[in-house]
Amino acid sequence: MQEWLLPDEEATTALGRRLAGLVPGGLVINLHGDLGAGKTTFARAFLRALGVGERVKSPTYSLVEGYDLGERRAFHLDLYRIADPGELEWLGLDSLAEPGAIVLVEWPERGAGALPPVDLEIHFRHEATGRAVRFEPYTELGRRMLQGLAR
Ligand code: ADP
Ligand code: MG
């Protein structure tokens, strides 16, 4: 799939809302991109659209924030401050692997080996004053999400 242009913050937010509307059950999305590329902006819109009522904090310091969505649970991770995936052990990330869990991970490369298998990767980059994204599906579920998005 080619890149999508996100000319302003609202475009990033709209993408988050739209993808959230396509989530079937559990799902793992890894968010790649430099600082300021829009990963948290996307995650906030996505989680709000899933029904997270409370303010979505950036998990920069907590590393992981969990949200109860009735039957489902969502997790938002930011591993920027992790130096070694071994540091994740004490966080008890087992619940991320629950079948119904919806997981968003910023800086997933820093947690390599300690994270559940990814369904969809989103790569964000700066493009002029806006951003550009490209998608890489890793599972059938990820491919179906992209098909829904392209529609
Ligand atoms: P990250 O989590 O990748 O470090 P953030 O989402 O925290 O990035 O911050 C991105 C910044 O860029 C925010 O100030 C946000 O308002 C802005 N932003 C997000 N998407 C866009 C876009 N498509 N165009 C321009 N600015 C954007
Ligand atoms: Mg962030």
pLDDT at 95: 87
Q: How far is CA 41 from the centre of its chain?
A: 10
Phi, psi angles (nearest 5°) of residue 121? -105, 140
pTM of the model: 0.96
Question: Which ligand places an atom closest to the C-alpha of 34?
Answer: 1
The three-state secondary structure class of 6 is strand
pLDDT at 1: 65
Across the chain, which has 151 residues, the per-10-residue mean pLDDT values are: 92 98 94 98 97 87 91 94 87 86 97 93 98 97 95 85
State whether the beta carbon of 37 lies less than 6 angstroms from ligand 1. Answer: yes
- Pocket perturbation via mutation, ligand 1, pick of 5, 8, 12 by most ligand atoms within 8 A of CB: 12
Q: Let me know: does 3 contact 136? Beta carbons within 8 Å.
A: no
